[in-house]
Amino acid sequence: MLAIDTNIVVRYLTGDHAEQSARARALIDRQDVFISLTVVLESEWVLRSVYAFSAQRVAEALRAFAGLPRVTVEDPARLALALDRAAEGMDFADALHLGAASGCEAMLTFDRDFVRTAKTAGGMAVRPA
């Protein structure tokens, strides 16, 4: 199994570079690959900020990618929950952070939007610091 970087995920999902996108597709179609949550996080940011994907479109694209037969994702349950929370309006990075802290009493933050969206999403408490 080979680990892949953000640029391979993005090329696969966007098809924006003819040669590299074809190479990314060929690689993922024939080789078992691993994608870490840090690569997923960076891919989400690139798709949203550079390619102007909506949160919903990012979630759909990343779910489809993670569901490919030759793709293994680090902590798929945490990724699925983060994608669900992001689709409901929570920042994707915050959703991943919240999932990583699931064994804690609460998460403290200065980010008021995070506190608000976490209350809506339910689960672990997110409180102002």
Q: What is the pLDDT along the chain (129 residues), one digit of tens a residue?
A: 999 999 999 999 999 999 999 999 999 999 999 999 999 999 999 999 999 999 889 999 999 999 999 999 999 999 999 999 888 888 999 999 998 988 888 999 999 988 888 888 777 789 888
pLDDT in tens, 25-56: 999 999 999 999 999 999 999 999 999 999 88
Strand 33-35 versus strand 71-73 pairing type: parallel
CB-based contact 39:71 (threshold 8 Å): no
Q: What domains can be seen in the chain, in order of their start residue?
A: 1-74 (3.40.50.1010), 90-129 (no CATH)
Q: How many Å from the N-terminal Cα to the C-terminal Cα in the chain?
A: 42
Candidates 86, 78, 38, 93; CA nearest to 61 is 86
| Residue whose structure tokens are 């090329």 | 11
